[in-house]
Each structure stands twice: as structure tokens, then as C-alpha cells.
Amino acid sequence: RSIIAIVPAAGIGSRMGADKPKQYLMLGHQSILAHTLDTLLAHPEITLVVVALHPQDNYFHQLPQSQHPRLTQVAGGGERADSVLAALDYAHTLNPDAWALVHDAARPCVTHDDITQLINAVDIHPQGAILAAPVRDTMKRSDANSHIVHTVDRALLWHALTPQFFPVSVLRQHLSAALAAKVSITDEASAMEWAGVMPGLVCGRIDNIKVTHPDDLQLAALFISQQ
Ligand code: C5P
């Protein structure tokens, strides 16, 4: 099985309020994206990493990883799903039988073992699977005025993480159809679900956080220092 990692890194990270896109903020000695790429490039089952970048990206070429022989860049799109689709189009021209391991640039704390666990889970989830974490808090559904309508049973609720792992050709087909149908797509599994597939959930580490707000930076730095 050939595995191509796809890294959507074309966002501008507006919620972070920083002077550059969040994936280029420093986490210890190197940027968030550099940490993410190092983990993916070091995994022996990943043959190629395709990074989707903003068309006006001025930072990527400064990363040492940008010259890596097993790394290619493509231009991303307006939404995360558009960026993933651009990378899938490229991967499909290389090898339509490959599997895509899609991982957010902004999740630098993912571990080698969680990636391995997800890849191996395809033996029991042949249609593909995602890393996820069980919800720990009590969950409430509200109305538009922030009043509680009811409590949602958390036993069946999960946080969807990345990587998410699907066959390149199937994911490409469902993602492009879902986008054409104007369905809201915030991860790869949503496109598969929309097409009637039931991806597997693989319990991953809860420290695989997505760096979104400024507070997350310190937390991510702590998690990485502990690995
Ligand atoms: O904004 P959010 O945290 O949901 O972004 C998740 C990932 O998707 C980030 O790594 C970001 O760079 C990427 N992204 C992208 N293209 C976009 C928007 C976000 O590749 N148009």
C-alpha cells in the first residue's frame, strides 16, 4: 500500500491574531508546520508528503523541510476542503491506488504511534478511519439565545482529530461531489459520511490539539517537550 500524506497549510489563521499564518509561528526551535512535517516525513510508511500552500505564501521556502526530496507543494484553495482536494488531484495523478493520510498543518503534536495505529486500523475499517478522542465534558445543545435545550449523551460523541485516512480516489470523488453540492465540509470524514460511508473511529491521544487560539501555543509547546 502506497501512502501519501496531505497537509492542508493554506489557511491564514485569522483567529490567532498573529502577524503571520499560525502554521509559521514558532514552537520551541522551529515552526508549527516544521514540527508537523518532521513527524510525517519520519514515518516509514509515508512515501510522499503533499503540502497545500496559500498561493501568496512567503514563508514555506524558508523551512529546511521545503527542500526534502519526498515533499511536494501544491496551491491550496479558499477553504480547507478546497486545499485538500487540490492535493488529492495531484496525488491521484501520481498513483490513483494510493491512500491519503490527511493531516492539519496546525496539529504539530501528533505522534508516530498514533499515525501507525490509524494506518493499521484499516484492517478492521477497510473504507477508512480517522483519529478521534472521546468527549469528556457533559455536552449541551442550546437554542440561538444560549439557553440549554437538552443534554446530549456524550457516550457516543467524539472529537474528530487528524490524520484522517482514506483511499485517494474515493475521497477525491466524494469530496469534490460534496463541495459541488455546497455541503459544509470541515474534515474528510464529513465528505465520506455525506456519500453514505461510515468511517471508523480510532481512539487517539487528546494532546493532538489543533493550534487555533494564542493560548494553544504554550500548550502545544509543552506537549511536544514531553514527547
Ligand atoms: O482554520 P483551521 O484551523 O480549521 O484550519 C485547519 C487546517 O486547514 C490548517 O492547517 C490550515 O492551514 C488549513 N487550511 C487550508 N486552506 C484553507 C483554510 C485552512 O489548507 N483555505
pLDDT along the chain (227 residues), means of 10: 96 84 93 98 98 96 97 97 98 98 98 98 98 97 98 96 98 98 97 98 97 93 93
C-alpha closest to that of 43 among 110, 121, 95: 110
Q: Tell me, what's the pLDDT at 12?
A: 86
- Ligand 1: centre distance to CA 59 (Å): 16
- Ligand 1: centre distance to CA 147 (Å): 31
Q: Tell me, what's the pLDDT at 199?
A: 98
Q: Tell me, what's the pLDDT at 93?
A: 98
Name the CATH superfamily, with its identifier, for domain 3-226: Spore Coat Polysaccharide Biosynthesis Protein SpsA; Chain A (3.90.550.10)
ipTM of the complex: 0.96
Alpha carbon 137 to chain centroid distance? 23
Ligand 1 is surrounded, with C-beta below 6 A, by: 8-11, 23, 52, 76-80, 83, 104-106, 210, 212
Beta-sheet strands, E only, within 1-55:
3-9, 26-27, 30-31, 46-53
Q: Tell me, what's the pLDDT at 148?
A: 98
Q: Which atom of ligand 1 is nearest to the CA of 84?
A: 20
- Ligand 1: centre distance to CA 8 (Å): 6
**Residue with the three cell numbers 467524539:** 158
- Ligand 1: centre distance to CA 104 (Å): 7
Q: Tell me, what's the pLDDT at 13?
A: 79
pLDDT above 90 covers a percentage of the chain that reads 94
Q: How far is 191 from 208, CA to CA, in rounded Å?
A: 22
Q: Tell me, what's the pLDDT at 16?
A: 82
Domain range list for the chain:
3-226
List the residue whose alpha carbon is closest to atom 10 of ligand 1: 105
List the grid coordinates of 180: 459541488
